[in-house]
Amino acid sequence: MTKRYFGTDGIRGRVGQDPMTAEFVMKLGWAAGKVLSKQEKGHVVIGKDTRISGYIFEAALEAGLAAAGLDVTLMGPMPTPAVAYMTQAQRATAGIVISASHNPYYDDGVKFFSGDGFKLPDSIEHEIEDMMDQPMKMVESKLLGKVRRLEDSRGRYIEFCKNSIPFRTTLKGMKIVLDCANGATYHIAPHVFRELGAEVFEMGVSPNGLNINKDCGALHPQNMRSKVLEHQADLGIAFDGDGDRLMMMDATGEIMDGDEILFVIAKSQLVSGGLGGGVVGTLMTNLGLEHALKTQGIKFERANVGDRSVMERLKANGWFIGGESSGHIIALNQTTTGDGIIAALQVLSWMVEKDLTLAEAKMGMHKYPQVMVNVPVAHKLNPAEFPQIQQAVEEAEQELANKGRVLLRPSGTEPLIRVMVEGDDAKQVETLANQIADVVKKVAPKV
């Protein structure tokens, strides 16, 4: 059954427009509270990223949850994976993150974790949506929820991250550039890597409410290059605004995306005996990763795009490691959701153990040329419904002659059609991607 408000990663939209209004978010808090605390008085932890609208939506959620009779613990700016961890650590009924992840400051969103630190199942999201149709009624005064602020949440999460690698592993002698995207990792990631012994050079650690993800972080990893080269750093790490994604850069300024990070982690855990099965990627995962894992004897499976889909396949298979090209890496033997800091530490731990550079660590994987063209459309639509688009795709697939892939899909978070073409000839791939995108622009409803 189609959901009205929840998308692939919670609820997200333009601030001040439905559904991201103070009124809607307060009602959402109340509805979620009513659904999540049917058996006993509930307790919810709330974290947010650094965008200015977080103040409004934090207060709105707090009011709605308390009106439903739930206690609330506010943690302030915290990465999404930190909220997942603290939900478990606090034995909370649920965790809520106020964030639009990699989107600009003028967007915001709300996403939920259940008490076990995993995203809410579809059935609960449907229940919350149904409850939104009911009139909002406060519990009687003596049953209202209480609100407190947890002052040491940052320190607790820093220790959790450090404990994700062997106790005696040290990063001493390593120079690292960190780009925190002026987002939720700005006051956490530098401490993690410094306390493990690295020399850290910071970027994107001055959030002002408006500059989250702006020309920085995992969306713009190339902006680390000058600093990596200037300081002769061993590597660079760029996080997105809510800290659940990362990109890396080697000492020469070469960018390393999520597929390559996934390969290094899988290879290292295969050697250590901790892989626990195969690896889950997505429809967007580069063919190079699939082939590289095959040479290592590691099983590989593709899921639909989105960490929810990756998680579903991991759980179904009983595997631990999965992720996306965008840098969303899930390591279920470490945590319950994508975590940029912990993913980076898995790579660095392997480098230290084997005395490797980042470039050496990723050896064994050759990426196929891949071009992605984003075509704005008036609303979400299915490309398969347009015969001209399907004809363009079929012609491109014939030209690739089984030496590549074509994938069209609507974005789960924005009104875009993503056109991806992959093959062994870079020039051919670019030409075909643009040809298909031109057809989409002609026939799809305009913005």
Cα torsion angle, 183, 186, 187, 189, sign: positive
Which residues, including other chains, have CB under 8 Å from residue 276's CB and lie 6 or more apart?
269, 318, 319, 320, 321, 333
The DSSP bridge partners found for residue 282 are 303
| Ranges assigned E (strand) in 118-245 | 147-149, 175-179, 199-203, 235-239
Sole residue written with tokens 């997942």: 84
- Tell me how many degrees the CA angle 294-300-304 measures, rounded to the nearest 5: 145
Listed residue (202, 213, 194) closest to 177, CA to CA: 202
Q: Which amino acid is at 423?
A: G
* CA pair distance 343, 356, nearest whole angstrom: 17
Side by side, which strands form the sheet with 175-179?
199-203, 175-179, 235-239, 246-250, 255-256
Residue 300: in which H helix or E strand, if any?
A: strand 300-303
Does residue 272 carry a catalytic annotation?
no
Sole residue written with tokens 């005395």: 355
Buried b (16+ CB within 10 A) or exposed e, 89-116: ebebbbbbbbbbbbbbbebbbbbbbbbe
* CA pair distance 63, 410, nearest whole angstrom: 35
Say if CB 244 and CB 186 are below 8 A apart: no
The token duo for 256 is: 């390393």
Say if CB 263 and CB 254 are below 8 A apart: no
* CA pair distance 75, 353, nearest whole angstrom: 35
Question: DSSP characters for 60-104?
Answer: HHHHHHHHTT-EEEEEEE--HHHHHHHHHHTT-SEEEEE--TTS-
Options 101, 309, 325, 349, the catalytic residue: 101
> How far from the centroid of its chain's Cα atoms is residue 223's Cα?
20
Report the catalytic residues. Answer: 101
